């Protein structure tokens, strides 16, 4: 990302204020907000460009072997941008092994994929178990050299009162049936 001279001036002022807090003028605040908006827009554009690059790479990969040259160029660009090679990429490169650029890329992608797997496995493996600090006897209690508070005995629950021998009412008792509505008196015929 490249900044213009004006944007660098605003950035330098914002960093100076961050290091040595001082009140800012309204114009400086507006400049900082505009710069933040520009940086956000640049980040969104970079994300859209990355999405487009990865979709283009997938299209070239499905069109192999006819699109080998374009695929290899796009894969190099994607790797330079921090792309983590997928199993499909490794399979495609194995198929293009006769091409010297593809052979070099295959070796590079193998190393990157292995590093990625090792990183994920290391993150998934739990570390050594430590004692919980929130419970009595934990490391915090040992550091303070205070005896752990004795737990208070819980009160035994009171036995529930015996249920009356009265039976449970039926829905008909609780909700009596509705009576049929009678017709209004004007509707009756005099006979």
Sequence-ordered list of residues with C-beta below 8 angstroms from that of 3, at least 6 positions apart, any chain = 11
pLDDT for 161 equals: 62
For 111-143, b/e burial (b = at least 16 CB within 10 A) is ebbeeeeeeeeeeeeeeeeeeeeeeeeeeebee
Collapsing DSSP to helix, strand or coil, 43 comes out as: helix
- Full pLDDT tens readout for the chain, 191 residues: 677 888 888 888 888 888 888 888 888 888 888 888 888 888 899 889 888 888 888 888 888 888 888 889 999 988 988 888 988 889 999 988 888 999 999 999 999 999 988 888 888 776 666 655 555 555 554 455 555 566 676 767 666 666 667 777 777 777 777 777 777 777 555 55
pLDDT for 178 equals: 77
pLDDT for 106 equals: 92
Residues 58-92: pLDDT tens digits? 888 888 888 888 889 999 988 988 888 988 889 99
Cα–Cα distance between 167 and 14 in angstroms, integer?
78
CA angle 9, 10, 13 (to 5 degrees): 85
pLDDT for 104 equals: 92
């Amino acid at each position: 990302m490249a900044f213009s001279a004006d944007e660098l001036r605003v950035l330098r002022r914002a960093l100076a204020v961050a290091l040595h807090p001082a009140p800012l003028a309204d114009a400086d605040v507006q400049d900082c907000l505009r710069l933040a908006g520009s940086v956000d827009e640049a980040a969104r554009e970079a994300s859209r460009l990355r999405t487009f690059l990865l979709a283009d790479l997938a299209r070239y990969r499905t069109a192999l072997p006819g699109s080998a040259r374009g695929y290899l160029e796009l894969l190099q660009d994607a790797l330079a941008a921090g792309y983590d090679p997928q199993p499909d990429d490794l399979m495609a490169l194995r198929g293009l092994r006769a091409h010297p650029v593809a052979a070099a890329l295959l070796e590079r992608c193998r190393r990157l994929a292995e590093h990625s797997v090792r990183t994920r496995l290391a993150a998934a493996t739990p570390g050594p178990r430590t004692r919980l600090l929130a419970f009595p006897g934990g490391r915090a209690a040992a550091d303070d050299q205070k005896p752990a508070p004795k737990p208070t005995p819980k009160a035994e629950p009171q036995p529930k009162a015996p249920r009356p021998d009265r039976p449970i009412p039926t829905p008909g008792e609780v909700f009596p049936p509705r009576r049929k509505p009678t017709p209004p008196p004007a509707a009756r015929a005099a006979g």
